[in-house]
Structure 1
Amino acid sequence: MSTKQALLNFLDEVEYMIIKDIEASSEEFLTKTVGTADRPPVQFLAEVGIFNSFTARYIQSPETIDPLTIESNAELEAVDTKRKANILVKKGFNDLRKAITNLEEADLTKTVTAQWGVPITIAHYILHALGHSMYHDGQLCQNQLIAGDDKLHWSGELSP
């Protein structure tokens, strides 16, 4: 299997899990803070979509995009419903999927600059975006657990 195909398969799996966890959550749950959290789940889920869309743009044209211009607070703060968060999450995964699909296998080894100033390959950058998505899905699952939902909403299922 090519690196490109492995990244696409991993993207599909991460997307499947986070969408299942969002679908299992109510509007009220996603728009309220849990415990000592400083923002509701809709905002960190919006961050997933925004960063994945940014990653898609960046890996296609890294020489024209400043890696420190990811998102605006206004864009995040405008997300105040489950529907808005879900749309952004799905858009981000779709944008990233298209960008990966449009890259040549050799492009994955080209070097770009990460936000923290370190040169990494495009494949590595994509993995950071997917890891960021998984982090926030874990954050959502932790909030679900705190609220009494102890189910793995994608457990026992295979990703598409």
Structure 2
Amino acid sequence: MLTTKSPQKLVQIQQKLEEESRERDRINNVLLLLEHLVEKEEVTVKMILNCLYDVGSVNLINKKIEARRLNKIMKSIAKMSKPAFRIVALYWFKKNCPQLITDWLHEKVTFKDAEEAVSQVVDTSLDSLPEVEIYNQEIKYLRSQVRLLAGSLIVVILFFVTTSYF
């Protein structure tokens, strides 16, 4: 036997489903528009990436390398590696940024409760604690490999510089 509240609940559920469907469609439209924007404004994206690379590489080198001569050498290496960065960064940007921006914008207009978001963050961080430790170990290993490769690169550059003068 149906009560008078059942049809009202049914209507509410149907309206909620329609709203969610409309929301998914609109968010998908935002994603498509961002992808289209990235394709049409590729030159602008390249210029943005170039500026970010210039600023980021100089700041990183200044932060990590204090020796003046080595600092200058690394800055020149950074300038030489810029074309390779451009290719990889543009590919990554086209592949990932429209989705990342869409997700971020969707999060901004969702207006979920702050307590709900905090509890989700805490729960996921507790579940992935062993994963975090594994990732930290991998990061330490990769950093040591980068140091080794950077040192080897410096030795090779110095070798070629000294042999070219003789």
TM-score by length of 1: 0.28
The higher-RCO structure (CA 8 Å, 6+ apart) is: 1
